[in-house]
Amino acid sequence: MISRARQQNKVHIYCNEKETYIKYKSIDDIILETELYEKNFGILLPLYNNYIDIDDKPYRTMYYNFRFMDAILKTNIKGYLIDILIGKGYNITYNEIYKKETLNKLEITQKNIKEKIVKLLYLNKDNLTEFERSLVSDDKILEKHFNLRLLLKNKIDERLVISITENLFIETIKSKYTKIKICKEIMKLLMIEDIQKLNKELTKNFNNIIDDEWIKDNINIIKKTFDIRTKKYNDFTYYNIYLLLITILKNLFDIKLFIRKETQINKVKHIYYVLDENVLLEHRTIINKLNNSDMFVDFI
């Protein structure tokens, strides 16, 4: 964050000092990645060509350049900022006292955010359950709650169409809506109607082979989409694709929903998962409360 003034003689900056490796070697890498997404995941989107009525080539050019520049800057944000400021004639100093004051302000901001989330979810701030406290204090858990809401309400196709209309296809293909659509497609391959069908009965299929061209063609880009680096899912047995699905489910939804179990198949240990109905009920309670509220606007 950089303070703004017309005649600056001093600038206070707070930034993330974490250094990362560059994701792309060139813009061509981004173009290739995007083409792969469009080729392999485009068929999952509901008749997307019906919702595209503009020439998006200029946007694509800006998008590719932005993604590449963003990837470069994120390798060392602090270093790039210092270079820019030195180039503008600033002297760089570090003030630990100001750093502590900034953290105190951050705590106040977080408190305000928590209060807004309590109001958004129609919670009783004086009597929060452990689950509700986790929702208002952890943005990742809150995001996964809304992902689950989207899945349970079966509105993925609707949200994909809206996203294409508002953000264009190139953005939608990499959105959380497409990720949930991929998840549902894999569930369909495994003959799992919904997440509540995760049970021991599925272990009867563990030795079966999944003979499906879509999953075979897309296994690598699916793993890349969900940042999965292991090679073990390249074997297309039901069991391996099932474990891939579990990894994706934990990526998208509350990890506490899934209870790990073990069983023996032909004297070989296998892992399977069942749904924690109590955790699901906690999510459903809030979802239903919002559904019944006239004040709540469904923005997911």
User: What is the share, in percent, of the chain residues with pLDDT greater than 90?
Assistant: 27
Domain contains 115 = no
Predicted confidence (pLDDT) at residue 102 exceeds the cutoff of 60: no
The answer to whether residue 152 is domain-embedded is yes
Report the pLDDT value the prediction gives residue 70, as an integer from 0 to 100. 82
299: nearest Cα among 92, 149, 184:
149
d(CA 200, CA 169): 39
- Is 49's pLDDT higher than 60? no
Q: pLDDT, tens digit, for every residue of 132-161?
A: 888 888 888 889 999 999 898 887 888 887
| pLDDT at 174 (0 to 100) | 76
Predicted local distance difference test score (pLDDT) of residue 270? 94
Domain holding 295, by residue range, is: 26-93+138-300
CB count in 10 Å sphere of residue 179: 19
Specify if 21 maps to a domain: no
Dihedral, 158, 159, 162, 167 alpha carbons, nearest 10: -150
For residues 247-270, average pLDDT: 94
- Range among 38-52, 164-178, 207-221 with highest mean pLDDT value: 207-221
153 lies in a domain? yes
- pLDDT band at residue 280 using 50, 70 and 90 as cut-offs: very high
**18-42 per-position pLDDT tens digit:** 667 777 888 898 888 888 777 777 7
Spatial separation of the C-alpha atoms in residues 3 and 28, rounded to whole Å: 35
Q: How far apart are CA 152 and CA 187, in angstroms?
A: 14
Q: What pLDDT does residue 220 have?
A: 86
Mean pLDDT to the nearest integer, 63-81 = 80
Mean pLDDT, residues 226-236: 84
- The answer to whether position 13 is within a domain reads no
- Specify if 17 maps to a domain: no
Q: Per-residue pLDDT for 100 more than 50?
A: no
Mean pLDDT taken over the chain:
80
Q: Is residue 70 part of a domain?
A: yes
Domain count across the chain: 1
- C-alpha 183 chain-centroid distance: 12
Confidence of residue 103 (pLDDT cuts 50, 70, 90): very low
The residue type at 31: I
pLDDT of residue 19: 65
- What is the pLDDT, as a whole number, of residue 74? 77
Q: Is residue 68 part of a domain?
A: yes
